[in-house]
């Protein structure tokens, strides 16, 4: 869930809880909203970490290849 959507839902539920303090369903929905937002954020963070790892591995491999090419060039000259 994008932050803007989360904020809109959170603010709506907060208004509903204030207007209807006896309605436990709004409180349950509020709690569920935070649970789902946390799950989403963790999934996004995990995915971003994986992408960063793959990117770093690619950079390392590229640098190794470039280093080998430079070594080969030096040896052949």
**pLDDT the model gives residue 5:** 93
Above 70 in pLDDT, residue 77? no
**Residue 76 predicted with pLDDT over 80:** no
Quote the pLDDT of residue 71.
75
Whole-angstrom distance, CA of residue 52 vs CA of residue 25: 40
> How many of the other CB atoms lie within 10 Å of CB of 2?
9
- Is the confidence at residue 18, as pLDDT, over 90? yes
Query: Distance between CA atoms of 72 and 67, rounded to whole angstroms?
Result: 9
Q: Which residues, including other chains, have CB under 8 Å from residue 21's CB and lie 6 or more apart?
A: none
- pLDDT, tens digit (0-9, with 9 covering 90-100), for 26-66: 999 999 999 999 999 999 989 888 887 878 888 888 888 87
């Amino acid at each position: 869930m994008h932050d803007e959507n989360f904020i809109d839902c959170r603010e709506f539920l907060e208004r509903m809880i204030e207007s209807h303090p006896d309605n436990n369903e709004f409180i349950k929905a509020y709690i569920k909203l935070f649970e789902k937002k946390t799950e989403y954020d963790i999934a996004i963070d995990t995915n971003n970490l994986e992408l960063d790892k793959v990117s770093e591995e690619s950079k390392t491999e590229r640098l190794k290849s470039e280093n080998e090419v430079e070594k080969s060039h030096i040896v052949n000259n």
